[in-house]
Structure 1
Amino acid sequence: MPDLCQLRTTVYCPNCGSNVPAPAGVVRFQWGEVPRDYRDGDDVAWLVDSAGHVVPSFVLVRNRDQYHWNYGDPQCRDVLAFDIDPHEPEMRCVSCGALFEGIAARVVDGRFDGAIGFLPGSIVQQFGVDVGSFDVAVREPTGGWRARTDWFNPILTEAGQGGAEGD
C-alpha cells in the first residue's frame, strides 16, 4: 500500500544552479498526511482525530474508501522527504546533464519549498547512509541533518488495533 504524497514543483540542480522540471512534474514521497497532493508554498498537512489531535505516525485511519496515515512528526519543521518513486531512465538535469542520485521535496518551517537533486555520492556523504535505507532526513537543533532510518519501511497499524482512533 505505498500510497504517496506528491509535490508539484521543480528540482534544484546543485551542479549548475538551475531549477529543472521534476519527473512527470511531481516529486513523490511520504511526509505528513499520506496520501496528499501539494504545491510549493503549501503547509504540511497532518491527519487529526475527532478531538483535533494529530494522529500518531503510522496509524491507518479509514477516510471514506481510502486509508490515510501520518508519516513523521509535526515537530520536525525542516525536512527532506526523498522521492521514492523509481525513475526510468535515471533523472538528469536538463540544463547541465548532471545525474541525480536522488531527489527530495524540501520542507522549510513546515511549508513545502521546492525540491533538490542530489549528485552521485552526496547522499552518503551528507547523511552517512545510502538513500536505500531512509526516506526522510530532518534538521537537528544543531543545524545538521539526520537520516531517519528508524522511520524507514514502517509497520502500519490500523486505528483501533493498538493505534489511535481517527475520523
Structure 2
Amino acid sequence: MPRIICRFIGRALVICLALIAAALPARLSAHDVPDEIVVTGFVKPATDRTDVLLRLPLALLADMDLPKTGPGYLDWPRLPPFLRLAGVAAARAIALHDGERALAAMVAATRIALPSDRAFVGYDAAHAAIRGPALPASELVYHNQGFFDVHLVYPAAADLVLRVNLAPALGGRLHLACA
C-alpha cells in the first residue's frame, strides 16, 4: 500500500491536505465511486494539540452501509453511531507521529455536509462548520452525495510526522488537494 510521509517544520504551520485509506474499502468497484475523488483536509499544530479537519465524499463510505430511508436518503435518527465509526476509520487512514511514536486520535466532531457546502475553503471556515449545528433531520441527503466532515484531535508533537495510507483500489482516481 503506498504511503505518503510529510514532515512539518514550525509549530504554527497550517497545511492543507487531502487523504483517505482505512475508511475506504479495498473492494470498491468502478461504479461505486466517481472517476475522480478529492479528499480535503487541514492540519494545524498548536502548543497543546494538533487539529486535523477532513472532508470525505460520502461515496467513499459506501461499505459502511449508512442507515437509509426511502429511496436511499440518510436516516438521520439512526446515523450518529455510524458517523462516529466513520471518524474512527478516518483516524486510522492517517497516522500522526511524534518522531517515531504514534499519536492517538480523538474524534472531536463529525457532520454530514451538503454537496453545495463550501466550508472547506479555509481552516477557520471548516472548523466553524464542523463544530457548528448539524443539518436538520428534515434535510434529504442521498447516501452517496454530499460530504462527511470530521475533526480529529491529537496530542501536541515536537517532531510532527503525518503518514497517509492511500487505498490501492482507487489507483489514480484519488487526488490529494494541497494549498
TM-score range, shorter chain: under 0.3
TM-score (norm 1): 0.26
Q: Which has the higher contact order (CA 8 A, sep 6+)?
A: 2
TM-score under structure 2 normalisation? 0.25
More helix by share: 2
